[in-house]
Amino acid sequence: MIYTIVVFVILASLDNAAIALIPSMVPQLRDTFGVSTAAIGLLTGAQVLVTAITAVVWGYLADSRDRKKLLLGGTVIWAAAVGLSGIATSYWPLFGLQVVAGIGLGSIASVGFSVISDFIAPKRRGLAMSFWGLSQGIGSLIGSLLASQVGAHNHAPPFFILAGAGFVFSLLFLTTFDAPRGYKEPELKSLYASGATYSYKINRQQLAGIGRVKTNKWLVLQGLTAQVAYGSLIWVPLLYQEKVIAEGYSQATAQQVGGLFAALFTIGALFSILFGHVGDRWQRRNLAGRAYVSSFGILGAIPFFLIFFWTPLKGLEITDGAGTATFIPEVLRAVATNPWVTLAFVSALIALALTSADSPNWFALISDVNLPEHRGTVFGVGNFVNGIGRSTGSGLTAVTADLMRTTLPPPFNLALGLSLFQFFFLPTGWCYWKASKTCPTDIESVRTTLRMRAAGSPSSKEGELS
């Protein structure tokens, strides 16, 4: 079982690495294909949106079909499209291939979540989901590093490397354990102990009932605003590249050093493990605990993001034209000795630590308030709305920065664009507060339904929600 979870976690990280490649190679792609930053932003936004739309379909299929076959198919689709992106010679073929990759990437999000939720008991759900969410952050970090370091002079190698990894893990996935739905639900323990299985699957008649679960509405709605803010953060590597250029360094050096800074600043995401555990502990005492943790984390991060965006890299000392092996110790030394770089690092650490409370507790809440055969679908819908927000944030941040470029030079145009979009976290915190009022009732409803089904109650027919 541990082997299966590890493979799933790595697949989730590769998924996000694929999405992170393009934004971290903006200077290289601009020069290679002769397009603007806004055009690259449009490509990124389109891929995120397609990933989100297809995640709804993948999620519904995950609740009614063989999930292993679905995940295998999705992985092959995105890996093939990413690999072919490496040989694209103009902008529009690259655009089309990245959109096709988005179709496959949608499966990892929805189908993978559906499977992982069946491996984890509710009392450890937040902690386990923190690793699932953290793997996605690590994937973004890997993608950013791969693009900024390996792709500084040629955009093709990062695509080839990531595609190869995708194909390798798609083969490993064939040997994983296929957990039945509801496998770790306490209310179904006696059912599985008796040798029986939980055979309920979703059908279209149940969709209206899923929509009536009040907490689902708040969990989905929060993603619309949260992901506008999160989507804008995909441009942080470019912001720090521009900050390095502003200190007088070349574009190639700035791409590599800016990528290293952006990667280093993501260390705060590791706190998701702590906040996932905090959510579990609080949830045992109060069924609204996970929603409270997410609300406090999101709102508390805003001022630290603003400090992070506007802190300059004054007095930065690095060797222009050197390689990654030289840049790494120089960047680390700057964090320790340059007060401006230290301030940027500390503010990013706190901001990302606080927002890291969101992901594991959101994942866990979706599992808590929905029946096992509905989780993939609800996650898919949530991911779709997230994608609308994320593509809006990632696309409009680049467009906004480009519009401001005529009156506000880099990196200040990007800093202002990023700052404006962080205020979308305010309604996100409010949505979690509303969810804290509805989730206790919805959680108890799921538990009651599962107990009745395990007991074979005639009042709990397939397709009904109690």
Whether the Cβ atoms of residue 268 and residue 348 lie closer than 8 Å to each other:
yes
Q: Residues 93, 65: contact at Cβ < 8 Å?
A: no
Mean pLDDT of 315-321: 93
Question: Does the pLDDT value for residue 55 go beyond 70?
Answer: yes
Is residue 243 within 8 Å of 409, Cβ to Cβ?
no
Percent with pLDDT over 90 in the chain: 54
Phi, psi (deg, nearest 5) at residue 203: -145, 170
Separation in Å, CA 389 to CA 13, 48, 220, 256: 21, 9, 11, 29
pLDDT at residue 185, rounded to an integer: 92
Please indicate, yes or no, whether the overall pTM of this predicted structure exceeds 0.75: yes
| pLDDT, mean of residues 83-93 | 94
What is the tens place of the pLDDT at every residue in 263-303? 888 888 889 999 999 999 999 999 999 999 999 999 999 99
Structural domains for the chain: 2-182+203-454 (1.20.1250.20)
C-alpha 77, offset from chain centre: 19
pLDDT at 463 over 50: no
Q: What is the pLDDT of residue 465?
A: 42
Q: What confidence tier does 466 reach under pLDDT thresholds 50, 70, 90?
A: very low
Classify residue 282 by its DSSP letter.
H
Q: Tell me what pLDDT residue 458 has.
A: 42
Q: Which residue has the higher pLDDT, 304 or 27?
A: 304
One-character DSSP codes across 421-435: HHTTHHHHHHHHHHH
Neighbours of 119 (CB within 10 A): 17
280 residue type, one letter: D
Q: Of 123-127, 150-154, 249-253, 337-341, where does mean pLDDT reach its minimum?
A: 150-154
Sign of the four-CA dihedral 140, 155, 241, 227: negative
Task: Report residue 1's pLDDT band, with 50, 70 and 90 as the boundaries.
Answer: low
Range 365-370 average pLDDT: 96
DSSP 8-state class, residue 180: P
Q: What is the pLDDT of residue 49?
A: 83
pLDDT score of 459: 40
Using a pLDDT cut of 70, give the percent of the chain over it: 98
Higher pLDDT, 5 or 302: 302
Whose CA is closest to 15, among 74, 88, 68? 74
Burial class (CB in 10 A: 0-12, 13-18, 19+), 405: middle
pLDDT value at 464 more than 70: no
CA-CA distances (angstroms) from residue 119 to 2, 131, 135, 180?
A: 10, 13, 16, 9
Q: Are 63 and 381 in contact, with CB atoms under 8 Å apart?
A: no
Question: 7 vs 1, 71, 178, 238, CA distance in Å?
Answer: 10, 12, 12, 31
* Mean pLDDT score, 134-141: 81
**Structural contact between residues 58 and 381, judged by C-beta atoms closer than 8 angstroms:** no
